[in-house]
Structures are given as structure tokens and as C-alpha cells.
Amino acid sequence: MGAILSGIFDALTTFPMGGSEDTRVLMLGLDGAGKTTILYKVKLNENVHTIPTIGFNVETMSPINGLTFTVFDVGGQEKIRALWRHYFVKTQGLLYIVDSADWDRMEEAREELCGIIESPEMAKVPVVVVANKQDLPEALHTSEIADRLGLRGIKDRKWFVQGACAVSGKGVCEAMMELARLVKEFQKT
């Protein structure tokens, strides 16, 4: 089993990065936030029945604002989060998905996001927080999510919060477009 995992991680770290149009994007967030639903809404424009992701999904997206995203959607269960760091190498954009209606886990989401952006491999990588489940009545507004995640204190990278509903698709394309814009700026530095 160790050899298999080692092979997967070797493949991840040697992921070919072609010209400026090929962009490696990491999609992370706590379990149940809607990562896989968002991935397949963008990829297939469909609502797919999902189960908790054990491991990762990887999909290449049609060009978004001139960039082809290869998105790594990694499971968010607590035991899997320790493996997130293996996906950081060569990442050019981070989509961090939060459940806007899960008030009780917002602090946990903040701690995990801080751990990600403090990693040397993720230095200056732009972040788009997708505040998913905005259709629920108890959902936090995007400005509240920015506050609770401590985003206003982040000065070493560009970030943006986009409200969304993965099921309807509202806000999902806007999040991808914003990430493409931020990645283009990042690539120029």
C-alpha cells in the first residue's frame, strides 16, 4: 500500500506544467462543503449524486478565461486532511470550499485554511473561497465568511470570496473566472 501511495504522490509532484495555459488548481475544504458537486457542475454542467471523497478526483476543465484548469478535488475528512500537503507542489490556484450554513465548523475551516496558506509550497498562491450553500436560510454572507476565516489579515496573496450554490450553479462560474484572473496575475510575478 505504501508503494502505491508513494507512486501517486510522485505522479502528483511531477505533474507536467506546460505553457501558461495549463494551470494546476487545488480544491480543498472540510467534508460536506460541496467540493465534488462544484467540480462536476463546472465540468459537466450537471448535478451528480456524490459520496464522500476518499482520496481525490481530478478533472481538466475547458479553458476558463484563457486557462485550462486541471482541478484536484481532495477529500476533506479529518483523517485525509493530513495528506493535503502532498498536493501543494506546483499548485497555481486554490479553491477553498466552505459550507456557508455550517456555523459550527467555520473555526475548523479557518484553521485548515491557515495551515494550507502557511505552507511554503503554497506561498503567494491565490485563493478563491467559494461560500457554498448560499441558498440555505442560515447561510453566512460572504463578508461574514471573510471575517470568520481571517481573510482580511492575509497580505501575502490575492484572495476573493464568492457566494455560490453548487446545486443550482449560481456563483460557481464566477468563482472560476475570478480564480483564472487571479492566477494570471500570479503567473506574471
Q: Is 133 annotated as a binding residue?
A: yes
| Whether pLDDT at 9 is above 60 | no
Strands of the sheet containing 56-60, edge to edge, are: 56-60, 68-74, 22-28, 93-99, 127-132, 159-163
Query: Residues 48-79: pLDDT tens digits?
Result: 666 567 778 899 998 889 999 999 999 999 99
Catalytic (active-site) positions: 77
pLDDT band at 10 (very low <50, low <70, confident <90, very high): very low
Q: Is 33 annotated as a binding residue?
A: yes
Neighbours of 111 (CB within 10 A): 12
Please give the residue range of the domain that contains residue 53: 2-188
Say what the pTM is: 0.87
Which position has the grid cell 453566512? 140
As for how many domains the chain has, the answer is 1
CATH number for the domain including 176? 3.40.50.300
Q: Is 30 annotated as a binding residue?
A: yes
